[in-house]
Chain A
Amino acid sequence: MPVLRISFALLILTLALVPVSHAEDGLSGCVSCHTDEARIKALYTPTEAPPSEGEG
């Protein structure tokens, strides 16, 4: 019985320490968006370029 309690406590502790996965596929939010071409295409906002000439 004590062994079972300790195992249960360890399980809870492990679950508490493991970071919560953001995305359904287990990847971080950054990775799930930035590796998904369709999503990046939808989220991308084109920059309005000011008229200027290059230097250098």
Chain B
Amino acid sequence: MYKGFLVDRNLLSTDPHFSQGCGFCHMGDEKGASKADAHRGLVKKPSDDLKICGRCHDQIAANYGKSLHYTTAGLKHGIRGRLSTAEESLFNEKVFPKSCNNCHATCGDCHVKSPTIGGVNPGLIQQHQFVKRNEGKTCALCHGGRVYPEFTGEYGGTPDVHYQKGMTCIDCHTRKEAHGDGSTVTSRKQVADRPACLGCHPRGSDKSDKSRAAHDQHAGKLSCVACHAAGQYRNCYDCHLGAGATAKPGFILGLDPRERKLVTTLRVIPTVRDTFSKAGVAMENYDALPNYWDTVPHMIKKRTDRTRSCEVCHTERQGFLSKETLLKGGSKANEGLIRMPPQLP
């Protein structure tokens, strides 16, 4: 791990980022005789203050300040509907800054040094080189609980077909999406031009009649991932402030809780009734939102159990949310997500 703190000396003379010396960004005492002296007043993550990068990259920094990676507003948005007005103020004051917003990504987390996860700091991405992208050392860490290991197959399933073809995160989730475009958004669903399957695989591009028939039959009723997510993905349960959640694999199909039109893959949200009780937030409107959100498991395959056989859904109803499989003691809104496929004649 110590290698993560080693700087490439050659960069000092070739990269303009170093022209003003280390202290320009990191403060500290460049003349300090010991580690303790040199690190006194050290700013470990200078880009926590976007103005530092904004001196040269002003537009990107301004946009980034409004992006979800920086504001983590999506996390607040996800919980807001469960809170009364008084609770929301308490949440914003006591919980959000210390918990959710603590996870925000700075410029440096993606371009210089891998983000600290669970107290572990893997260190510099490439000896303090300012890198454009290195998903395995950046995205993979913050999104390493669910999405990234699903994508690479580290959970034991086969890797996502896009990963197998050599694609990584930024090939779909573009720089514009990561940096933001200057709009204030509260959810990833509001991000303009976010990736969509149909962007690369438009309707009518099927290579076989069978595929075309299946797509025509299910258009407007199912999301793409409802059929093309390869298998079980990770769901997190029972999260408590400061103690974390527990995870187990599962595959759940039900109505998209946002629009209630399409059947799609759902992921359990680990917020339980007493998640924030330590902070005095009881979530008076807990039952206003379900315990499942629509999700895009990053384990896409052309052929899955559901694309091979109609029976898997229409006879066996595998994975479909039902009264029997709903979370025990969960939100009253969960029942509204149950949608069974019609039985085959």
A residues engaging B (CB < 8 A)?
20, 22, 28-31, 33-35, 37, 40-41, 43-44, 46-50, 52-56
Contact = CB atoms under 8 A, between A and B. Distances in A.
A34 B142 contact: no
A21 B97 CA distance: 41
For the complex of A and B, 7 pairs with smallest distance between CB atoms? A54-B145, A44-B2, A30-B22, A56-B143, A35-B9, A34-B7, A28-B30
A43 B146 CA distance: 34
Contact of A31 (B22, B33, B119): B22
B119 A53 contact: no
A17 B123 CA distance: 35
B244 A29 contact: no
Given A49-B120, A52-B118, 20 more contacts: A28-B30, A29-B31, A29-B32, A31-B7, A31-B9, A33-B35, A34-B6, A34-B7, A35-B6, A35-B7, A35-B8, A35-B9, A43-B35, A47-B121, A50-B118, A53-B246, A54-B117, A54-B144, A55-B244, A56-B147
A56 B142 CA distance: 6
A33 B32 CA distance: 11
Given A29-B33, A41-B2, A43-B35, A49 B119 contact: yes
Contact of B22 (A28, A44, A49, A55): A28
Contacts of A50: 118-119
Contacts of B2: 40-41, 43-44
A40 to B, nearest CB: 5
A12 to B, nearest CB: 21
B12 interface: yes
Contact of A47 (B9, B28, B29, B119): B119
A22 B244 CA distance: 45
A22 B30 contact: yes
B76 interface: no
15 contacts: A22-B31, A28-B30, A29-B29, A29-B32, A29-B38, A31-B7, A34-B5, A40-B2, A43-B35, A49-B120, A50-B118, A53-B236, A53-B245, A54-B146, A55-B146
A53 B7 contact: no
Interface in B1-22: 1-3, 5-9, 12, 21-22
A41 B4 CA distance: 10
B6 A30 contact: no
Contacts of B249: none
Contacts of A54: 117-118, 144-146
